Structure 1
Amino acid sequence: MITWCATWALLTTHTWWLPVAIVVVMVLLALSLKQPGQAVVGVSASSAALGVAALRMRQARASRIQPGFRGELSGRLLTAPKTVAEDLSFVQLETPGHPVAVPLLIRDVFAQPVPRGSMVQCQATVSGSQRPGVAQVIASCDSLHVTSPPKGVAAVAEGVRASFARVAQHTAGSTTGSLLQAMVLGDTSGQSPQMRQVYQHTGLSHLSAVSGANVAIVVGAVFFLAGLWRVSMRWRVVWAAVALVGFVLIVGFEPSVLRATISGVLALVGVVAATRQEAIHGLAVAVIVLVIVDSEMAVSYGFALSVAATVGIVALHPLLLKPVARAGVPGPIARAVAVAVGADVATAPLVASMAGQIPVVSVVANLVVAVAVAPITVVGMAAAVCAPVPVVGDVVAGLLLTVIAPCAWWIQRTATALAGLAHPTLPVGDDLGGILIAALMGAWLVALISVGAWRRLGVLVSVGVLYATGVFGVVGLGVDVQPVLENPRVVVVDTVAEAEAIELNEGAGLGGHVDAVVVRHCRQVSKPRPLQRVDGVPVVCPGWRVHVDGTQSFTGGQ
C-alpha cells in the first residue's frame, strides 16, 4: 500500500512532498504497531518504485513527444484499435525514446482489424493531458499506416486471436461471438461502445477483462487434467506454469492479467516449497513488483479495480459467507453471494470516481451469470488452442464454441435485460462526496449481512429493486430519468434567458417538435439552474454537473 500510494502521489502531483509525506506517515504507523520489518520493507519498496518513476519522468521530459509536437509518430501497437465513438478509435503506442506508451486517438474506424504488435506510423499532433501519469500527453492523427505485421511470439498470439475471432463470429454471431472473444482472450475490439456500456451499467464489464478468475480457472483445469494422468505434483506445477505463460502471451499484458499472473506464480512457488501463504501477501508482492516494473500501473483504473476486487473477496468473503450460509442458503450459492458482494463493495468507490454512478443491479447480475463463466473460460480456451490448427481446427473449435454459445447468450441477454431497467445505475457523483456515499452504502450492506439483520436487509433490497425497475418514478418518489434519444432535434441558443424565452410551438418556424435546447454560453453562477423549461423541454448547459434533485450547476470549467 505504501509503495502504491507514494507512486500514485508522485505521478498525480509531479512533486515530492506528498509521496515523501505518505511514506513517512506509513512508516510511523508501522513502528507504532511494533512492525519494524513492515517499515523496512515499505521504505525499501517505496524508494525503488519512486526512484524508477522519477527516472521515467525525467526521460519523458527529454523525449521529443511533448505538447505542441507535430510530425511523424511510429512504433509498435500495444493494443488493438478500440472504437470509442463514431469515427474515433483508441490505441496504446510503444514509441522508441519514450519511457511509456503513448495514448493515440485515431479519427478513423478500421474496416479491417489492425493486429496488436504491428509496427505503425502516422502524422500526429501531441497535446497535453490532465490524466495522471509519467508523461501527461495524448496524441491524435487522421489515419494509421501499418508498416509491418507482428513478428515472433506476437505473430503466433495474433494468429490464435484471429482464428478464434473468426470461428466465434461464424459460430455464435456478431454480438455473442464478440462476448466470447472478450471473455476468453480479453479481446474487446469486436464489442460496440453501446454493448460495453451495457456491461458497465450492470457491473459485468469485468467479464470482458481477463483477470484473476480466468487465471485461477486455467491453472485449476491444468492441475485437474494432470491429476487424471497421475502426474507428480512438481510436474503439475510445471504444466501449470507453461499454461500460465502461454495464456498471458495470448491474452496480452493487461494490468489485471499481470496482477493475477504474479499472484499465480507465487502460489505455484508455494506449492513447490510446500508452504501456504496468505492470499493478501501474494497480492501485496504482486502490487509492489508491478508498480516498480511499470510505474503507470499506480494510476491505472483497471489495475486499481483488479486489486480492490481481490482485496474485497479475500477480506469480506469469510465475514459474509457464514451469516449467508446460516440463513439456509445452499453452499455454492452462499459462496457466490459472498464473492459478488465482497467484490462489488470494494470496487464501488472506484466505480463512482470513474463514472459518477454505481450499478444497482451488479450483485444480482453477477449471481445470475456466475454459472456460465467457468464453462466459457475452460472450453473457450480449448477452442482458442484448436482454432489455428490447419484443416480440422475450425471444425473442432466450432464444435466447442457451439457447446458454450448458450452460456455467452445467457450472459448477454442478462446484461441487456438488466440494463434496460428504468434505473440500472444510481448517480452519486464522481467527487469525494460520491466516493464516500458509495463506500458508506457498501459498509451498510456488509454490516446488515454480517449481523444477520435479514429484515432490514430485505427492506434495503426491496428499495433497490423498486428503484431499478422504475416503480419510484411511477409513484412520484424519484427523479424521472428520461431515456437516451436517438438523433434528437435540438435548438442552440446563446444564453439561458434565450432558452427560457424562445418559442418552441409548432408555429415558431422550427420545423416541428424540439427535444432539447442547448445553451452555448452558460454564465458561471453558483445558483443551480433547472434542467427544463416550464413547458418540460430540457435545457442543457454543456459542462455543467447534473444533480439528482433536478438541477444543474457550474463545475469550474469541467
Structure 2
Amino acid sequence: MTTVAAEASSPETAPAVTDLRLIAPAVGCWAVTVVGVVAPPTVTGSVTAMTGVVAGVGAMAVRRGGLRPAVAEVVLILVATAGITAGFGTAITIRAAYVAASPMAAPELVGHKVTAAVTVVDDARTLRGPGPPRVRIAVRAAPVRSGGAPVAATLTAPQDGWADLVPGQRAVAVVAVDRPYRSDLTAAALRTTTPPRAVAPPPRHQIWATAVRTRLAELARRQLPAAESGLLPGLVVGDTEGLPDDVVDEFRTAGLTHLLAVSGANFAIIAGAVLLVLRVCGTPRTPAALLTMVVLGCFVVVVRPSPSVVRAALMGLVGLIALVAERRTAAVPALAVAVLGVLIIWPAMAVDPGFALSVAATAGLIALAPPIRTWLCDRGCPRVLAELLAVAVAAQIVTIPLVVMIAGSLGPVGVLANIAVAPAVPLITVLGTLAAAVAGVSTVTAAVLVRLCEPSLWWMVRVADVAARVPGATIAVPDGVGGAALAAVVVLVVVFAVRSVARAVSRSARGSPPGERRWSPVRCWSHVTAVWQHDRRERPTAPAAGRRRLPGRTRDGRRPRRGDRRGRGRRPAGDPRARR
C-alpha cells in the first residue's frame, strides 16, 4: 500500500513514493498499548487474543491461496499488523500485571506510611501554589521490608533536600502511600514531609550531565538579564527551573511553550550542524554519521529523556542508519519506527499528552508542510518565508484537536508568534549548545557565545510578551473528546474553504490576459525565486530542444531504436535546417 506523491516542479522529476505500510502497525500497537495502560489486564488480554485470532485466520487464508494479488497484499498487511499488535498486547499485559502485583501497589498500603527506597528517574519539578515550596519527582520505589523490585511512582516532597537529587540517585524516606493520580503504569502516588536519608551518589554520566547543565545556567545568570538567563537553559537543555513564572505564563498564552521542551527541532538543528561541519572537513559518510550519533547520544543524556526527546532521538537514529546504508530515508516510516521504539521501551508514553502532541506535529510537518510551502511559493511568496509559514501552520493545524482535548483552550496568535520567533531558534540552539560544550574548557569562550545569544533571546521574550497581551490571545472552548471532535470538524471546514478559495483564485488568474500575467510582480518574483532553489528536484531545467545533442542520441536524450531515421544523422521532416 503505497501512495505516489508528485513533488516535482519539472516534468522530468521522478515521482516520490511514500511508504505507508508501517502506519497501520504503529497505530495498532499504540491503540493496544493505551488499552493495556488504562484498562485491567483481563481486558487487554481479551483484545490481544482477538488480534491473535485475526492474524492466524489471515495467515491461513494467505497460505491457502486463491486470492487476487491486490487482495493478498491487503491481507498480508492486515496479518502483519494483527501479529505485531498481538505481540505488543502480550507485552503490555505482562507489564501491567507486574505493576499491579508489586508490593507498592498493594491496597492495604493506601493511606498508610511506609519506609521506601526510591530511585530518582527525572529532574524535580517545582510545584506552584500556596504553602512551602514543594517538588514532584518521578521515581522508582519499593518498600524496604518487602524486598520487592521497584516500580514507577510519583513523589511529592519538600524542596529542601529533594530538589538537588539527579536522575539515578537513590535515597530512603518515610512516605505516605496513595493511589496514583492517573493510569500510566504508576503504582502509587507518594508524599513525604522530611528530607531524604541515606542518599547514594549519582551515576558518573549523570554527574557529568548535571555539571554541564549547571555551568550553562551559571553562565546565563552572569551574562544575561533575568528573563533571558532563565530562557537560555530552557531552550537548549530543557532546564526551566530558573525561568520566572510570568515569562512561563506569557509563553503558554502565546503558544510558545513547546520551545521550552527539547524536541525534534533541537535534534534536527544539532545533527545538521554537526554533519555540515564534518562533511566540510572531509569526513567520510560513515564516520560522520557515527560521530553525529555519538553527539546526539550525549545530548540525550544532558537534556534528560522526555517523550519528545526520545521520539526525536529515535527518528535521528533511523535517519543516520539510512544515511550509512546510502538509501533515501522516508519520513513516514521513520516516524512509525520511532513510535514503535518508544512504545517498546516506555509503554506509559502511549497516554502522555506531550508524546501525542510531538507525534502529531511531526506527522503534520511531513504531510502538510510541503504542499503548503509549494502553494505559497507558486503564488510568489519567498521560499524562506514560505518554509516558516508552512511549518508553523502545519504544526498548529494538526495539534488543535489535541490541545482542545487536553487544555480546553485555543491560541489564535500562536501561528504568528511561532513565525516571529522561528529565525531565532536555530541560532540559540547552536550557540547555546556550543557554550554548554566548551564551558568546562574555556569560560571566556562560553561567555562570548552566551552573549551572542542575547539579541535572539530578547526578541523571543518580547514576542511572547506582546502576543500574550493581545485581546483574545487565549479562547476557552469545550475540552475532552467532544471538544476535540468539534475542533477537528472546524479545522476541516476551514481547510476545505481555503482550498476552494485558492482554486477559484487560480482559475481566475489563468483566465487573465497573457501580458498581464507575464509582467505581474508576483509572477516575476516567483520566476526569480525558482532560479535560486536549493533542492535539486526543483531546479529549472533547460528545454529538450536547447540541450546539447550527444552522438548517437535523439533530441530527448534516448538512444535511437532500430528503424528510427532520426538517429542516422537526418533531421525530422519540416526542419528548416534539413538537407534538400
Class of the TM-score when normalised by the shorter of the 2 chains: 0.7 to 0.9
After superposition, the Cα gap between the structure-2 partners of 1:170 and 1:37, relative to the gap in structure 1 and judged at 3 Å, is farther
After superposition, the Cα gap between the structure-2 partners of 1:100 and 1:356, relative to the gap in structure 1 and judged at 3 Å, is farther
- Establish whether residue 76 from structure 1 lines up as the match of residue 76 from structure 2: no
Q: Deviations over 1:474-510 (max 9, x none)?
A: xxxxxxxxxxxxxxxxxxxxxxxxxxxxxxxxxxxxx
- Establish whether residue 89 from structure 1 lines up as the match of residue 130 from structure 2: no
- Establish whether residue 12 from structure 1 lines up as the match of residue 58 from structure 2: no
Secondary structure of residue in 1 paired with 2:410: strand
Q: Deviations over 1:502-543 (max 9, x none)?
A: xxxxxxxxxxxxxxxxxxxxxxxxxxxxxxxxxxxxxxxxxx
430-439 or 357-366, larger mean C-alpha shift: 430-439
Find the counterpart in structure 1 of residue 12 from structure 2: none
Matches within 5 A, 1:480-519: none
After superposition, the Cα gap between the structure-2 partners of 1:435 and 1:38, relative to the gap in structure 1 and judged at 3 Å, is same
After superposition, the Cα gap between the structure-2 partners of 1:100 and 1:194, relative to the gap in structure 1 and judged at 3 Å, is farther
- Establish whether residue 53 from structure 1 lines up as the match of residue 81 from structure 2: no
* Cα distance in 2, alignment partners of residues 294 and 286 from structure 1: 12
* Cα distance in 1, alignment partners of residues 58 and 155 from structure 2: 42
Matches within 5 A, 1:61-72: 61-66=100-105, 67-72=110-115
* 2:297 maps to amino acid: V
Offset of residue 452 of structure 1: 4.8
Secondary structure of residue in 1 paired with 2:486: helix
Find the counterpart in structure 2 of residue 426 from structure 1: 475
Q: Deviations over 1:103-124 (max 9, x none)?
A: 2222446797443433233321
- Establish whether residue 417 from structure 1 lines up as the match of residue 463 from structure 2: no
Secondary structure of residue in 2 paired with 1:348: helix
Offset of residue 440 of structure 1: 2.5
Find the counterpart in structure 1 of residue 454 from structure 2: 405
After superposition, the Cα gap between the structure-2 partners of 1:22 and 1:230, relative to the gap in structure 1 and judged at 3 Å, is farther
Matches within 5 A, 1:434-473: 434-453=483-502
Q: Deviations over 1:368-395 (max 9, x none)?
A: 0000000011111100101223xx3x22
- Establish whether residue 44 from structure 1 lines up as the match of residue 83 from structure 2: yes
Q: Deviations over 1:342-383 (max 9, x none)?
A: 111111111112111122211111000000000011111100
Offset of residue 32 of structure 1: 7.0
442-451 or 204-213, larger mean C-alpha shift: 442-451
* 1:10 maps to amino acid: G
If you compute each CA radius of gyration, which structure gives the higher value, 1 or 2? Answer: 2
Find the counterpart in structure 1 of residue 241 from structure 2: 189
* 1:324 maps to amino acid: L
After superposition, the Cα gap between the structure-2 partners of 1:114 and 1:37, relative to the gap in structure 1 and judged at 3 Å, is same
- Establish whether residue 118 from structure 1 lines up as the match of residue 169 from structure 2: yes
Q: Is contact 2:256–2:464 with CA below 8 Å preserved after alignment?
A: yes
Secondary structure of residue in 1 paired with 2:472: coil
Find the counterpart in structure 2 of residue 239 from structure 1: 291
Of 353, 362, 365, the match for 2:417: 365
Q: Is contact 1:182–1:188 with CA below 8 Å preserved after alignment?
A: yes
Offset of residue 438 of structure 1: 2.2
Tell me how large the CA RMSD over aligned residues is: 2.8
After superposition, the Cα gap between the structure-2 partners of 1:148 and 1:346, relative to the gap in structure 1 and judged at 3 Å, is same
* Cα distance in 2, alignment partners of residues 189 and 33 from structure 1: 55
Of 398, 408, 414, the match for 1:346: 398
- Establish whether residue 156 from structure 1 lines up as the match of residue 195 from structure 2: no
After superposition, the Cα gap between the structure-2 partners of 1:278 and 1:29, relative to the gap in structure 1 and judged at 3 Å, is farther
Matches within 5 A, 1:534-545: none
- Establish whether residue 139 from structure 1 lines up as the match of residue 139 from structure 2: no
* 1:76 maps to amino acid: T
Of 25, 28, 33, the match for 1:2: 28
Find the counterpart in structure 1 of residue 11 from structure 2: none
- Establish whether residue 384 from structure 1 lines up as the match of residue 436 from structure 2: yes
After superposition, the Cα gap between the structure-2 partners of 1:226 and 1:47, relative to the gap in structure 1 and judged at 3 Å, is same
* Cα distance in 2, alignment partners of residues 324 and 353 from structure 1: 30
Offset of residue 8 of structure 1: 0.5
TM-score (ref. length: structure 1): 0.75
Q: Is contact 1:81–1:189 with CA below 8 Å preserved after alignment?
A: no
After superposition, the Cα gap between the structure-2 partners of 1:375 and 1:58, relative to the gap in structure 1 and judged at 3 Å, is same
Find the counterpart in structure 2 of residue 467 from structure 1: none
Q: Deviations over 1:414-438 (max 9, x none)?
A: 1122112232112112122211232
Find the counterpart in structure 2 of residue 219 from structure 1: 271
- Establish whether residue 105 from structure 1 lines up as the match of residue 133 from structure 2: no
Q: Is contact 2:364–2:394 with CA below 8 Å preserved after alignment?
A: yes
Secondary structure of residue in 2 paired with 1:57: helix
Find the counterpart in structure 1 of residue 546 from structure 2: none
Q: Is contact 1:255–1:302 with CA below 8 Å preserved after alignment?
A: yes
Q: Deviations over 1:429-461 (max 9, x none)?
A: 2122211232233323433444454999xxxxx
> How many residue pairs align between the two structures?
453
- Establish whether residue 279 from structure 1 lines up as the match of residue 331 from structure 2: yes
Offset of residue 280 of structure 1: 1.0
Matches within 5 A, 1:22-37: 23=51, 34-37=73-76
After superposition, the Cα gap between the structure-2 partners of 1:72 and 1:240, relative to the gap in structure 1 and judged at 3 Å, is same
Find the counterpart in structure 2 of residue 168 from structure 1: 220
Q: Is contact 1:102–1:139 with CA below 8 Å preserved after alignment?
A: yes
After superposition, the Cα gap between the structure-2 partners of 1:172 and 1:313, relative to the gap in structure 1 and judged at 3 Å, is same
Secondary structure of residue in 2 paired with 1:253: coil
* Cα distance in 1, alignment partners of residues 161 and 53 from structure 2: 50
Find the counterpart in structure 2 of residue 288 from structure 1: 340
Find the counterpart in structure 1 of residue 5 from structure 2: none
Offset of residue 299 of structure 1: 0.9
Find the counterpart in structure 2 of residue 129 from structure 1: 180
Of 375, 382, 390, the match for 1:323: 375
Secondary structure of residue in 2 paired with 1:328: coil
Secondary structure of residue in 2 paired with 1:35: helix
Q: Which runs of 5+ in 2 are unaligned?
A: 1-26, 60-69, 143-147, 506-580
Offset of residue 397 of structure 1: 1.2
* 1:134 maps to amino acid: L
Secondary structure of residue in 1 paired with 2:117: strand
After superposition, the Cα gap between the structure-2 partners of 1:137 and 1:429, relative to the gap in structure 1 and judged at 3 Å, is farther
* Cα distance in 1, alignment partners of residues 54 and 392 from structure 2: 31
420-429 or 289-298, larger mean C-alpha shift: 420-429
* 2:174 maps to amino acid: Q
Q: Is contact 1:372–1:408 with CA below 8 Å preserved after alignment?
A: yes
* 1:8 maps to amino acid: V
After superposition, the Cα gap between the structure-2 partners of 1:289 and 1:451, relative to the gap in structure 1 and judged at 3 Å, is same
Q: Is contact 1:119–1:150 with CA below 8 Å preserved after alignment?
A: yes
* 1:71 maps to amino acid: V
* Cα distance in 2, alignment partners of residues 102 and 350 from structure 1: 26
* Cα distance in 2, alignment partners of residues 364 and 454 from structure 1: 25
Offset of residue 215 of structure 1: 0.6
19-28 or 92-101, larger mean C-alpha shift: 19-28
Offset of residue 293 of structure 1: 1.3
Same amino acid, percent of matched pairs: 30
